[in-house]
Amino acid sequence: MLIKKERIGQVTIFIILGLLVLLVLFLLFTRTDIKTFFAPKTTVEQIEDCGKSPIKEGIELLSLQGGVITPQNYYLYEGSKVEYVCYTKENFKNCVTQKPILKNIIEEELKAYSQARIVKCVNEIAEKLEESGYEVSMKTPNISIEIVPDNVLLNLDIDLKISKENTESYDNIRTGLRSKIYNFVMIASSIMTWETRFGDSETLNYMLLYPSIKVEKKKQGDGSKIYIITDRDTEEKFIFAVRSGVIPPGLVEVR
């Protein structure tokens, strides 16, 4: 009986050691500081998370729908509504740009999607602080979002004051989220220009210029094209629809 208990104890020790080894490997490979890993998040860090989470959700959603949260003029592709960024219903005609400044539209879409979610999350943090004996003063957060190369930047205009033994004040809280959406938007805007001028675009040119990017053009039965831009390193995607320079069925397309 004693031997059995010793074996159980040894197995338990090996399991604990194994878990510790896995934890150390995780911290090494993710380059996470051990103090940061175990320390509770500050109020500012929690508020930053309030911003990052809905923005990440918004990017994932609009990236698969042509840059908008709720598509209106769209092509149904594999069960998803993909917005036309350039469109004409007429045959033989080049498309008309539907999203002339795609970057600004995506920033506005992200703000509309995130604003109420961020405010709700920040209010919940403030309530928890007050329950813990803090005095909290802040205005309703107003957010601004800017898409830049490899990042989406968030600024919260908040005028936050937290008091207990000491007082902390923050006029603005700024944070960012890594994303390739800016790169995708620039390529999509270039493709739109080609589609409006010539009724088509050559995807190979973009892949020669940007080897880390894959650009696919999938022609559909009604003459629409679905463009899929993929970052080969992160596997992030941006999908949008175009209908331009359509040759009706039965006629030979000459390029």
Mean pLDDT of the 162-188 span: 94
Mean pLDDT of the 15-30 span: 63
Q: According to the model, what pLDDT value does residue 36 have? A: 45
Cα angle 100-106-108, degrees, rounded to a multiple of 5? 100
Token pair, residue 163, equals 């008091």
Q: What is the DSSP letter of 254?
A: -
Q: How far is CA 22 from the centre of its chain?
A: 30
Query: How many helices, marked H, and strands, marked E, lie in the chain?
Result: 6, 10
What percent of the chain is helix, strand and coil (3-state, nearest 5)?
45, 30, 30
Buried b (16+ CB within 10 A) or exposed e, 130-168: eeeebebebeebebebebeeeebebbbebebebeeeeee
Cα–Cα distance, 136 to 168 (Å, whole number)? 10
Kindly report, residue by residue over 64-94, the tens digit of the pLDDT.
999 999 999 999 999 999 999 999 999 999 9
Give the predicted TM-score (pTM) of the model: 0.81
Residue 125 predicted with pLDDT over 60: yes
